[in-house]
Amino acid sequence: MSFFGSALIGFLLAVAILVTVHEFGHYLAARWLGVRVLRFSVGFGPVLLRWRGKRSIFKGDEFAVSAIPLGGYVRMLDTRDTDVGVLSPEAEREAFDRQVLWKRSVIVAAGPFANFLLAVLLYAVALAWPERALSPVVAAPRADTAASVAGLRGGELITQIAGREIYNWDDVRWQLLSHMFDDQLTLVVRDQGRERELILERAPRAAGEDPTGRRLLGWGVGIFQPAVIGTVVADGPAARAGLQAGDRILSVDDRKVDEWFELTQLIQASANREVRLGVERSGATRTINVTPRAVKSGSREIGRLEVTPPNLFDEGSNALATDRRGFASAFAEGAVRSWEATALTVRVLWGMVSGEVSLRQVSGPLSMAEGAGVTLKQGVTAFLFFLAIVSISIGVLNLLPIPMLDGGQLLYHLFEAIKGSPPSERALIIGQRIGIGFVTSLTALALYNDFHRIFS
């Protein structure tokens, strides 16, 4: 399947799941509290498909799929609608606007709550899913990073970050991301059979430095991939020199090599120049001379040995994590991770307001489609993690105190609770205009960032 096809399928699947769950939260709360639902729609605009529920609480309600797959809605009976006509006393009791304040608030808040609950379940399933993952072994960090200053040399196994147990490299990535605004981070690593604690401290930001870039670059902790040859291309420079699958490269021209990235950099810088490799094979070391082939990469030439690294996901690879969580443990971790993701989303939003995070981080439907396509091709767990973080983003965004969003409705309810009566018609109209302006501006910014990223 092409990337475009994967992106389209992933996007439609993600929207269908996330929108349906959000609106279903509103729907279930409305039916539970005795409010009549006129239509449950996935999508906006012209209705493409519609049907009536025939069983249980769904009986008699209209369900629809509409043409624009960028949201959805639950239309409830409301006496303020101009097209409802004259209602009987029984029907009027089932209208949304005739309910007591706490019922209306529960119905409004149920949508975002459903998104948060979905995220917990998605995280739990992803964390318990029986899929192999990379062990959290770190590479040798660059000299100017927080990891290097803290004492990481490369080859250590991370067992804890900020007091949280680490099972695989996905856990490491998440903890580094969730602590992107911290200036200090505690790691526990297993190094040559013993555990030691390290403190990563972020360097002060230089004058004029982009605050977002520094935060998103992380702490300088990278994946460790040993410089072991997996396959040798027939009749390539490595094959003619006598290199074999399973050889571990120890040095290039007496420069020590610890991991695959270092080997790649040194070989690329040696196009058409003979280099001396220190090689370990079957426990013995030897020297092999080889001349990397020069190949074009843009406007420059780089060296190639015509070898590939081993597949880290082969059975028996010591680069794989073997620890797995049971569902109970995964559910608890899913709840914690959902809370962390919610706090991080709120913190990023505040960072955009305060200028600490660039507005270029706002992404739109094109970025979402790209993320959905990439994670869908990567596998079940990657797609579930993607859905979880987007579900939390939807929940948080809908709770913003902006008219037209659920948070704006809850803000109206707060005023009503304080004042003792709903906001005036004029206040509602002004609020609606503000809400339309905000949503339009946010959508335009997100689309601009999407297109800017694609075409630049």
Q: Using the 8-state DSSP alphabet, how is residue 178 labeled?
A: H
Residues ≥6 apart with Cβ < 8 Å to 104: 96, 97, 413
- Tell me which residue of 166, 136, 113 sits closest to 391, measured CA to CA: 113
Name the token pair of 24. 């279903």
**Of residues 23, 156, 259, 370, which has the active-site annotation?**
23
Backbone angles phi, psi at 179, to 5 degrees: -110, 25
Q: Is 267 exposed, middle or buried (0-12, 13-18, 19+ CB in 10 A)?
A: buried
Contact 18, 368 (CB under 8 A): no
The number of beta carbons lying within 10 Å of the beta carbon of residue 196 is: 12
Contact 52, 62 (CB under 8 A): yes
In whole angstroms, what is the distance from residue 316 CA to residue 333 CA?
A: 27
In whole angstroms, what is the distance from residue 153 CA to residue 175 CA?
A: 20
Contact 109, 115 (CB under 8 A): no
H/E stretch holding 371 reads helix 365-378
In whole angstroms, what is the distance from residue 157 CA to residue 38 CA?
A: 57
CA 121 vs. chain centroid, Å, equals 15
CA 75 vs. chain centroid, Å, equals 31
Residues ≥6 apart with Cβ < 8 Å to 151: 198
Name the token pair of 86. 């004259």
23 an active-site residue?
yes
% helix, strand, coil for the chain, step of 5: 45, 20, 30
Q: Enumerate the β-bridge partners of residue 284.
A: 281
- Tell me which residue of 122, 138, 121 sits closest to 173, measured CA to CA: 138
Residue where the block lists tokens 């059979």:
193
Contact 44, 71 (CB under 8 A): yes
Name the token pair of 314. 């082969």
H/E stretch holding 146 reads helix 146-150
Which residues are tagged catalytic? 23
